[in-house]
């Protein structure tokens, strides 16, 4: 029976600046889950891309002395380059300036308009150009006669004609879907739970505050104050605002409006990965628009936290922005991929610490896994003529090793299904520690003289453990685990998760081992 297809997305990244660690982090989580699902027999569609319209981009292009299209071409390429630098396996890279995306936005707008879900009115309020957002008076602070948004961006009073989406109609339905039990086909699952509670409370409060004026909850979806965007069909003085334009990318890439497109089978998305700052857009505005258009909303939105740098908030003014490209150049790609998902529970805020990174890379990768592989494979080279020993079955003293190994795949699968990346890595490395304890206790180097049959069995069990770890860690560290699988002689066609059930033949020739990880000098930290 074929496993269900999987659709995973990153947010599309705004092109008013170059990529930073937050962009790499979101895409890395998406990439790891996509790779794992492919290894586990699923057909996967993994989407990322760039958000290229709006007033901020128009202004940034002007400040750079460039045409907006030329500006977005240049900056978007930096995000595309990041996918290569970080080893991401995305199946598509979408840009909102592409003709296919403009066509999808126009099609969705027309459907919503025909259904009476969009109407023309006027919008006024305190608007921050930098944030492309309106703020209520109670959210503002004032200094030297200038009002500021909570983000620190200055605001100005704006009144302009605007089209509105009837969001108020759909909020009760969203609340119903938030509260459906896990596994229900109509549930909109918001993770982590703290974000679900935040979104739910926000919607409930809005419904309570504006019970007598529900139109106050409707969403402004067009602008006339700038021109860099998708034109509203039939009224080209207006451009579509970010809620319609950017969010539509997820269905554009799936072939919308052609529901016979081969990729449409992937919709609805299984997980939208987003930063916590845009969780409301993805859990309120986006599903409401989809439902209003007669389309299914995404099954889950997972909002991760933010990074600080050595305990400080990251900002350009402090000069402590973390460049993922620089990290990769210094530490190597796979160690960086590993650390980012190992260090912090996904969904929580975390602190980037060089000391912590060095400790994890040395202690867990080099000392625990690297040393286990080198000891095991060197012993096979010296004592078994470089050939895989026979599987002589399990003895009582093998029970502790296999207690974790036998359930490892299913445990990791369940943890990744919940996007608990750090727990999956913790589980794997707990088993690695068990294997290191096992090799020390069994001492196969001493068994060669006293019990060579037992020595061969111990080395075979350690080879089985290494194969399991290498297979399950491929999504996190694809290049290094490919090298380890080469060293333990697993053929390319036998590296999927299902292949773990098919042991390698006795006598398989193993190449000489080579170091997998380099230790980092602590004085450089």
* pLDDT score at 524: 45
* pLDDT tops 80 at residue 318: no
- pLDDT tens readout for residues 233-288: 999 999 999 989 999 999 999 999 999 999 999 999 999 999 999 999 999 999 99
Band (pLDDT 50/70/90 cuts) for residue 525 is: very low
Question: Using CA atoms, how far apart are residues 48 and 37, in angstroms rounded to an integer?
Answer: 17
Please tell me what DSSP assigns to residue 137: G
CB 18 within 8 A of CB 75: yes
pTM: 0.93
Q: Is the pLDDT of residue 137 over 90?
A: no
Cα separation values, 136 from 41, 141, 455, Å: 49, 11, 72
Confidence of residue 6 (pLDDT cuts 50, 70, 90): very high
Please give the average per-residue pLDDT across 215-241, as a whole number: 94
Q: What is the mean pLDDT of residues 203-228?
A: 93
Percent of the chain topping pLDDT 90: 83
Domains of the chain as residue ranges with CATH: 354-524 (1.10.730.10)
Instruction: Tell me what the mean pLDDT of segment 454-460 comes to.
Output: 97
Mean pLDDT of 101-116: 98
Q: For 290-307, write each residue's pLDDT tens digit.
A: 999 999 999 999 999 888
Q: Which residue has the tokens 């936005």?
A: 105
What pLDDT is attached to residue 523? 60
- Lowest-pLDDT choice from 82-86, 284-288, 321-325, 480-484: 321-325
**β-bridge partners, 308:** 313, 351
How many other C-beta atoms lie within 10 A of the C-beta of residue 436? Answer: 18
Across residues 318-333, what is the average pLDDT? 86
The residues near 76 (Cβ < 8 Å, ≥ 6 apart) are: 15, 50, 52, 95
Mean pLDDT of 479-489: 98
Considering the chain, what is the average pLDDT of its residues? 94
DSSP state of 264: G
Alpha-carbon gap, residue 277 to 313, rounded angstroms: 15
- Residues 6+ positions from 53 with CB-CB distance below 8 Å: 96, 97, 228, 229, 230, 239, 242, 245, 246
Read off the pLDDT of each residue in 461-483 and give the average, rounded to a whole number.
98
pLDDT score, position 222: 96
pLDDT surpasses 90 at 2: no
């Amino acid at each position: 029976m074929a496993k269900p297809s999987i659709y995973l997305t990153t947010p599309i990244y705004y092109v008013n600046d170059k990529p930073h660690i937050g962009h790499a982090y979101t895409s890395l989580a998406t990439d790891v889950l996509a790779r794992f699902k492919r290894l586990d027999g699923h057909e996967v569609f993994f989407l990322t891309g760039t958000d290229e319209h709006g007033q901020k981009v128009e202004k940034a292009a002007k400040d750079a002395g460039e045409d907006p299209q030329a500006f977005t071409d240049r900056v978007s390429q930096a995000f595309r380059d990041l996918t290569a630098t970080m080893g991401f396996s995305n199946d598509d890279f979408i840009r909102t300036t592409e003709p296919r995306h403009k066509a999808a936005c126009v099609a969705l707008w027309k459907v919503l308009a025909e259904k009476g879900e969009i109407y023309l009115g006027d919008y006024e309020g305190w608007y921050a150009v930098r944030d492309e957002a309106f703020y209520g008076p109670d959210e503002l602070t004032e200094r030297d006669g200038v009002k500021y948004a909570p983000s620190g961006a200055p605001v100005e009073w704006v009144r302009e004609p605007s089209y509105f989406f009837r969001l108020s109609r759909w909020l009760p339905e969203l609340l119903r879907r938030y509260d459906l039990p896990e596994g229900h086909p109509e549930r909109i699952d918001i993770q982590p739970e703290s974000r679900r509670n935040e979104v739910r409370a926000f919607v409930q409060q809005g419904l309570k505050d504006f019970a007598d004026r529900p139109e106050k909850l409707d969403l402004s979806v067009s602008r006339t104050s700038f021109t860099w965007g998708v034109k509203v069909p039939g009224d080209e003085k207006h451009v579509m605002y970010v809620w319609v334009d950017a969010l539509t990318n997820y269905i554009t890439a799936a072939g919308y409006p052609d529901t016979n497109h081969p990729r449409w089978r992937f919709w609805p998305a299984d997980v939208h990965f987003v930063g916590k700052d845009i969780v409301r857009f993805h859990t309120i505005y986006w599903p409401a628009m989809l439902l209003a258009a007669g389309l299914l909303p995404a099954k889950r939105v997972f909002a991760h936290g933010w990074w600080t740098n050595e305990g400080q908030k990251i900002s350009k003014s402090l000069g402590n922005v973390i460049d993922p490209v620089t990290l990769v150049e210094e530490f190597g790609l796979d160690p960086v991929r590993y650390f980012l998902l190992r260090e912090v529970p996904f969904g929580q805020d975390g602190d980037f610490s060089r000391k912590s990174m060095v400790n994890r890379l040395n202690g867990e990768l080099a000392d625990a896994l690297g040393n286990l592989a080198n000891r095991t494979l060197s012993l096979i080279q010296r004592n078994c003529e470089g050939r895989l020993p026979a599987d002589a079955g399990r003895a009582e003293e093998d029970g502790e090793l296999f207690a974790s190994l036998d359930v490892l795949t299913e445990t990791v699968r369940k943890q990744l299904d919940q996007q608990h990346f750090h727990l999956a890595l913790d589980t794997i490395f707990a088993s690695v520690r068990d294997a290191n304890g096992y090799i020390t206790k069994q001492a196969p180097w001493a068994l060669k003289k006293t019990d060579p049959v037992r020595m061969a069995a111990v080395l075979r069990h350690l080879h089985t453990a290494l194969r399991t770890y290498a297979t399950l860690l491929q999504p996190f560290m694809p290049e290094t685990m490919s090298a380890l699988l080469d060293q333990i002689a697993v053929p390319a066609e036998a590296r999927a998760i299902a292949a773990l059930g098919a042991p390698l033949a006795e006598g398989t020739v193993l190449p000489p081992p080579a170091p997998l990880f380099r230790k980092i000098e602590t004085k450089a930290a």
